[in-house]
Structure 1
Amino acid sequence: MRHERFQAGAADQPTLLLLHGTGGTEDDLMPIGHFLAPRANLLSLRGQVTTQGRTQFFASSADAAAIETQVSWLAETVQARCGQYQLNPQMVIPVGYSNGADFALAALGVASPFPAAVLLHPTTPLPLKLQLAGKALWASHGTHDDKVSAGNFADLTQQIRASGGQLTVFQHDQRHNLNITELRQAKAWLTHFMEVTQ
């Protein structure tokens, strides 16, 4: 059984690849995707890994090989859906929250055609050698986040920039929750990115 959702958008629009947080499902980010890009195609997948009964894209203890195995699954799935739904694989933009944000970064940095990613509350640097030259990224962090320390977020941003990524950071005074302020900022960044790349 496929644990995924697809919603077609306008023919000339990119596809947002929606990646939920720990314990989530393929339904979680569909409203977020529609808010960020109302005319885009939306493809939402459920993680294949279960840790203590909670769905993830990879466990926090996963090593590089385990993460790359899941990235390969993601790449194969996206390629298949691009063929099925007649989507442009060069214009698929991952949007992830928490564990999904970490996975979006992994997917972007490991030999993918994805041009950009929106990282909502990414949690930690990855045990991977990322290749992000020419990639655009937007990342958010709450200064009162009880799950992601300021130090961890700083290390993550350093990893992204050291790997060649063009990173825009948005910090707010909330915790690990999604909030309308950051979503509006992400939408403005994503809208600008799509306008300049079309």
Structure 2
Amino acid sequence: MSDLYETVVIPGRADDPRTLLMLHGTGGDAESFAGLARVLSPGTHAIAFQGDVLENGMPRFFRRLREGVYDMDDLARATGKLENAVAEALAGAGRDPAQAILVGFSNGANLIASLLLAEPKAVPRAVLMHPLIPFEIKAEVPLGADVLVTAGRRDPIVPWPMIVRLVEDLRQAGASVDLYDRDGGHEVSEAEIAAIRDWLRRRPLVDRPSGQVVNS
């Protein structure tokens, strides 16, 4: 639970130490993304955040001046707020920060990417669905995150060359990045959901008592 954002929480199984932290896109909400968490990884504890900014009545996480042009001051505000909200939500639920996986679509993915660059330790793993990063990636320290980027090659909002550049830049900054792409637009397809589900399933878990790595 977080006092910084409205949240929807889905308790997970006792034997699954992972936590999905879900950030919706513009026009979505915490409830819908909590539902997505159930599909992506049944039995995993999930916390879905509700965006605190309205654009034409639709919730999002930070302001923009127009499509693809962000209010960078508000992005900085939102990045700091998300860092605090993630830490607060995990601590409040007694969850291990090392087992956190941040999942975002569009606007939510953009904010997760911003947090990854500002505070890499806050984002050990991330799923960035159709992210649009129109600014230069400058990592202050090497990124150690495990990242999945999903995108449509014909996305009218996110040009494909920007996805290619994002993946390359994240890799050069030290992140381990997988890319799932399809011949589609900004919508999320069933095949994309299946690819994310498989990626999550294949991520190893850290067995804290023994220090061994086990598969999920």
Structure 2 distance, partners of 1:85, 1:158, is: 35
Q: Which moved more, 1:154-163 or 1:5-14?
A: 154-163
Instruction: Calculate percent identity across the aligned residue pairs.
Output: 26
2:47 maps to 1:43 = yes
Structure 1 distance, partners of 2:25, 2:48, is: 12
**AA at the equivalent of 1:7:** I
State the TM-score, normalized to the length of structure 1.
0.89
**AA at the equivalent of 1:138:** L
Gaps of at least 5 residues in structure 1 are none
Once the 2 structures are TM-superposed, how far is the Cα of residue 41 of structure 1 from its aligned partner?
0.6
CA contact (8 A) 2:22 2:34 kept: yes
Once the 2 structures are TM-superposed, how far is the Cα of residue 50 of structure 1 from its aligned partner?
2.4
Q: Which moved more, 1:168-177 or 1:80-89?
A: 80-89
Quickly say closer, same or farther: Cα 1:116–1:58, change in 2 above 3 A: same
**AA at the equivalent of 1:161:** R
Q: Partner residue of 1:55?
A: 59
Q: Partner residue of 1:175?
A: 185
CA contact (8 A) 1:15 1:40 kept: yes
Structure 1 distance, partners of 2:23, 2:79, is: 12
**Correspondent of 2:158 among 127, 148, 151:** 148
Deviations 1:24-78 (A, max 9, x none): 2111212221111112111000122223333211234335543232122112122
**AA at the equivalent of 1:124:** I
Q: Which runs of 4+ in 1 moved over 6 A?
A: none
CA contact (8 A) 1:57 1:100 kept: yes
Q: Partner residue of 1:121?
A: 130
**AA at the equivalent of 1:27:** E
Structure 1 distance, partners of 2:172, 2:41, is: 29
Higher Rg of the two aligned structures:
2
Structure 2 distance, partners of 1:104, 1:78, is: 11
CA contact (8 A) 2:115 2:122 kept: no
Deviations 1:63-106 (A, max 9, x none): 55432321221121222222221111221110000111111212
- CA-based RMSD of the aligned residues comes to 2.1
Gaps of at least 5 residues in structure 2 are 207-212
Structure 2 distance, partners of 1:53, 1:31, is: 22
Q: How many matched pairs?
A: 198
**Correspondent of 1:20 among 4, 24, 35:** 24
**AA at the equivalent of 1:68:** A
Structure 1 distance, partners of 2:184, 2:173, is: 28
